[in-house]
Amino acid sequence: MTIVSRGFSGRRSTEDAKLPPGQYLTTDFPVLSAGPTPHVPLDQWELTIDDGTNQLRRWDWKAFRDLPTETIKVDLHCVTRWSKLGTDWEGVSVDRLLADIKTDASHALVHSYGGYTTNLPLKDLLNNQAWIAFRYEHQDLAPEHGGPARLLVPHLYLWKSAKWVRGITLMPQDKPGFWESLGYHNYGDPWREQRFWGD
């Protein structure tokens, strides 16, 4: 049973129609991180793909930046309930990074500098749904927002878009990441409001 809050009328916006349930619109870009912001020098940066045993691919910053890029305009939805519409990014499609890899993996664990991890079904990283992004609103991605490069997988809550990405492990079965082990939903679809365990 819902309790009506005496005297509360709220502040509706015409943009609310575009928002997943329980979200509100912001024009800021709030920061949420579990610890200090890692500062990764570009000459030490690398991005790897492995299968849990063997490294399958590796790019240093220059090799990564030599890959073809895409510009992306997407809406962002954070589990802490803010949404931000029409953000502009530039990045490398994960399809391209995985293009020549033969795998039977069903899931992926994404690793970050600083130790953060998040898990996704592999298919959510493919089919033009996920990028390794390095520019935001036409600027180099700031460290507090995940620079030099972060995963961008905008159809899921933003904690899945791991900041400071350093590698992707392809896995034959699922394994929860950092927040997924601490009460957050394993999949995190904002349109189904999958915020926490049990949602």
Partner 1 sequence: MWHVGKVTALHDETATARTITLQVPYWPGHVAGQHVDIRLTAADGYSAVRSYSIASAPNLEGRVEITVERLPTGEVSPYLTQELAVGDRLELRGPIGGWFVWRPHQSEPIQLIAGGSGIVPLMAMIRSRASAGITTPFRLLYSVRDPASVFYRDILQLLSDRDQSVSLTYAYTRTAPKDWPRPPGRIDAALIANTTWQSNLGPTCYVCGPTSFVESATGLLVAGGHSPDKIRTERFGPSGDRR
Q: Is 114 one of the binding residues for partner 1 (CB under 8 A)? A: yes
Q: Is 2 one of the binding residues for partner 1 (CB under 8 A)? A: yes
Query: Could you say which of 20, 26, 176, 187 contacts partner 1 (CB under 8 A)?
Result: 26
Query: Exposure pattern of 11-30 as b/e (b: 16+ CB <10 Å)?
Result: eeeeeeeebeeebeeeeeee
The contact mask relative to partner 1 for 142-181 (x = CB under 8 A, - = no) is --x---------------------------------xx-x
Q: Among residues 26 and 103, whose Cβ is nearest to partner 1? A: 26
Q: Is 82 one of the binding residues for partner 1 (CB under 8 A)? A: yes
- State the nearest-atom distance from the C-beta of 148 to partner 1, in Å: 17
Q: Is 68 one of the binding residues for partner 1 (CB under 8 A)? A: no
138-144's contacts with Cβ under 8 Å and 24+ in sequence apart are 138/88, 138/90, 143/37, 143/38, 143/39, 144/31, 144/33, 144/37
